Amino acid sequence: MKYDVLTYGRAELRAKAGPVADFGNGLRGLARDMLDAMYAHEGLGLAAEQVGRSEALCVIDVPPRLDADPRTGERHNPQAAMPIVMVNPRLVASAGEQTGQEGCLSFPGIYANVRRAAEVTVAYRDAEGKERELRARALLARVIQHELDHLEGVLLVDRMSPVQKVAVAGKLKRLRRDAASAG
């Protein structure tokens, strides 16, 4: 099935994801379709809520060139095989702090500086139902935290400072208006 990415203003984006119990073909198909939608929109991650689904599922694919330390060229997360399908993910540890620019497929053309943990450990099941744990740093850690936010109904706008919200108020208003007319 081909999915469109929902944009800001759609109620589905505020829904909290429900746990996944069935690890059958339907879940694997949804994960594949979400990856296709993410790639079509040139994203690094996508949560089920962003395609109007309520499963606790997100997909992530950070290309090696974006995972490299700019000074040394070494990968921050060489252990992370991409793409990653995370089912029922939960943050189990975090450390440090990083602030950097984030975008979101549900907020096209809008970017904001967001403070996140510099390193996270996330426990999840893969699409086959196998338990996994991943320790991630740098951009991958940021993407994981962003997608986990989506699964809780937390959006990029919720992480913006008041000044950032004022700066993009017109764009946010347009997205809400477009979402209202679309759905």
Q: Taking the alpha carbons of 61, 65, 69, 73 in that order, is the dihedral positive or negative?
A: positive
The distance of Cα 136 from the centroid of its chain, to the nearest Å, equals 14
The three-class DSSP label of residue 133 is strand
Rg (CA), the chain: 16
CA dist., res. 142 & res. 117, Å (int): 7
Q: Give the phi and the psi of residue 125 in degrees, each rounded to 5.
A: -110, 145
Q: Which two tokens stand for residue 130?
A: 């196998």
Other Cβ atoms within 10 Å of 178 Cβ, number: 14
Residue 172 CA, distance from chain mean position: 19
Q: Within 10 A of 2 (CB to CB), how many other CB atoms are there?
A: 8
Quick check: is 147 catalytic?
Answer: yes
Residue of 49, 102, 119, 147 with catalytic role: 147
Cβ–Cβ < 8 Å for 12, 183: no
Catalytic residues: 147
